[in-house]
Structure 1
Amino acid sequence: MNPSLEVGNVIITPENIFPLLAEKQMIAALAREIVLDDAIADIECTIEETAMAEQQFFMQMQLNPNDKEKLQTWLQKNYLTREQLQNRILRGMKIEKYKEKTWATELQPYYLKRKRQLDKVIYSLIRTKNPGQAQELYFRVIEGEKEFSELATQHSQGAEAETGGLIGPVELNVPHPEIAQRLMTSQPGQILPPCRIGDWIVILRLEKYIPAQLDQNMRRRLLDELFNTWLTETIQKQVKFNF
């Protein structure tokens, strides 16, 4: 007798499982899990790491591991064996250890390569589609007739008008590339002459430049970037459809 799973009026069998996975767009997620299983197969956790992971898991799930009856009920409800549960508990920790093992030595050069995009800026912006108005506003602000924020509130034609033209802090890969380039080459407080960017004429003022730092949060982020790039490329290479 072939195994099957009945969910309402749907009976899932070995014959229809693949079309169902494809229809529900779950093949990529399954492939991801299989690739990760292979990657972390040789990763070991210490007794202390295992105990910590188990404690966090059971607290999160509000389960008492010493209550055998309730634990068994939970396992049956989630279609898991005790061994499968153990693998699930340690999976996240093993993935993190795999990231460290694989990319820790690449982190510094990758950070230096990405740093210019990771630096942040706070800047002020006035934009209009009228070149003549842009020139007038520029001269009014550099001559001190009006504050930049006041002119932005009154005349800027984007959402920045609600904040007095102030934007940020944002990473330098967020603004339009031409805006980012102009901000990178200016000094805080410098008001840049109007320039055309797409359909807009913009006036810019750099308020603050905030260099990126390779702290713990940045380190974790870059490790995730390297890991996700590897995972995407590996899935694309290894997943093959045979009809």
Structure 2
Amino acid sequence: MSQAPLSGVTSAPRIALCPGQPLLSAEATNRLLLRHGLNRELARALVHEAVAAVIPLSAEEELPLIAAHVQALGIRSEADLAPWLEERHWSRDDLRAAATLAERLRRWSHWRFEHEVEIRFLDRKQDLDRVVYALLQVQERELAEELHQRLKAAEMTFADAVRQFSLGPERDTQGLVGPIALSAIAPELSGRLRAGREGQLWPPFLSQEHWCVLRLERQLPAQLDAEIRERLLHDLFSTWVNSQVEGLLQGSALAAVPRPEEADSP
């Protein structure tokens, strides 16, 4: 069965890949987006643009962002910038929008979700907590039990046991792993480490194809510092964006993006 030509009918409104040179009908463009899985990225771009549009920046705020963006592109002079823009069919407004997009999104997400950060932190704290642990992995259960007893009796150090017998990548660090978030650790290990105490040594247990001996070295509870705050704000914003994208893909209209000044109005 033959497919309809992507160019579409000549009378339909047409989409220009190159400004001033219409090429594809809207119908053909939609089919291309769906076939190649680009509809989700287009929806995400629409949401980002809608958010950016409600965050004003002054010229003084925009100029350093544009300068940094241009420098990151490897453009060193105005003489280099003009042909770069022309090659991409960009206007100066396109450059300004691209250079300031991330900052506008950041400011909106701070305004919109700042009050939710502490709640999200408390909900996710157990996953954000980090640990340092020592791990020994061997093939035979009997060897794991023998090494566990020798470690428990302080007849050998964990580093020596790992160097002589361990089969995992922890051999390169004398058995030490971390600091690492509990959420990034295999469930067989993280469940024990989450409930353990510093210095606790667990009897051998099977994890995938290896018998493991595990010891908790250090607990590093998460603190709501600037880095964690930014990460949680990013997560909250991404969740909101994804919900808007899903709505667009299901045929819903994009809701008006709240403006900060509207919240400040009496």
TM-score after normalising by structure 1: 0.84
Letter in 2 for 1:25: G
Q: Does 1:73 align with 2:73?
A: no
Residue aligning to 1:46: 58
* 1:12-31 Cα shifts (integer Å, max 9, x gaps): 42253233333443222111
Residue aligning to 2:24: 13
More deviation, 84-93/170-179 = 84-93
Alignment of 1:170-181 (within 5 A): 170-181=180-191
Letter in 2 for 1:28: R
Task: Return the alpha-carbon distance in structure 2 between the equivalents of residues 223 and 175 of structure 1.
Answer: 23
Following superposition, the deviation at residue 106 of structure 1 comes to: 0.6
* 1:71-121 Cα shifts (integer Å, max 9, x gaps): 543332221223333222322211111111111111111111111111111
What percent identity do the matched residue pairs reach? 29
For the structure 1 residues 25 and 3, does the alpha-carbon distance in structure 2 shift closer, same or farther, using more than 3 Å as the test? closer
For the structure 1 residues 130 and 74, does the alpha-carbon distance in structure 2 shift closer, same or farther, using more than 3 Å as the test? closer
Residue aligning to 2:173: 163
Residue aligning to 2:256: none
The answer to whether the 8 Å contact 2:150/2:156 transfers is yes
The answer to whether the 8 Å contact 1:43/1:97 transfers is yes
Following superposition, the deviation at residue 59 of structure 1 comes to: 3.3
- Secondary structure of the corresponding residue to residue 37 of structure 2: coil
The answer to whether the 8 Å contact 1:153/1:163 transfers is no
Residue aligning to 2:158: 148
Task: Return the alpha-carbon distance in structure 2 between the equivalents of residues 192 and 107 of structure 1.
Answer: 35
For the structure 1 residues 79 and 240, does the alpha-carbon distance in structure 2 shift closer, same or farther, using more than 3 Å as the test? farther
Residue aligning to 2:238: 228
- Secondary structure of the corresponding residue to residue 44 of structure 1: coil
Residue aligning to 1:219: 229
Task: Return the alpha-carbon distance in structure 1 between the equivalents of residues 236 and 150 of structure 2.
Answer: 48
* 1:179-208 Cα shifts (integer Å, max 9, x gaps): 112223333223222233454432111111
- Secondary structure of the corresponding residue to residue 232 of structure 2: helix
- Secondary structure of the corresponding residue to residue 180 of structure 1: helix
Residue aligning to 1:124: 134
Match of 2:72 among 55, 60, 66: 60
More deviation, 101-110/194-203 = 194-203
Unaligned residue ranges in structure 2 (runs of 5+): 1-9, 252-266
Query: What is the number of residues matched between the two proteins?
Result: 235
More deviation, 75-84/204-213 = 75-84
Task: Return the alpha-carbon distance in structure 2 between the equivalents of residues 236 and 130 of structure 1.
Answer: 49
Residue aligning to 2:219: 209
Unaligned residue ranges in structure 1 (runs of 5+): none
CA RMSD between the two structures: 2.6
- Secondary structure of the corresponding residue to residue 46 of structure 2: helix
- Secondary structure of the corresponding residue to residue 173 of structure 1: helix
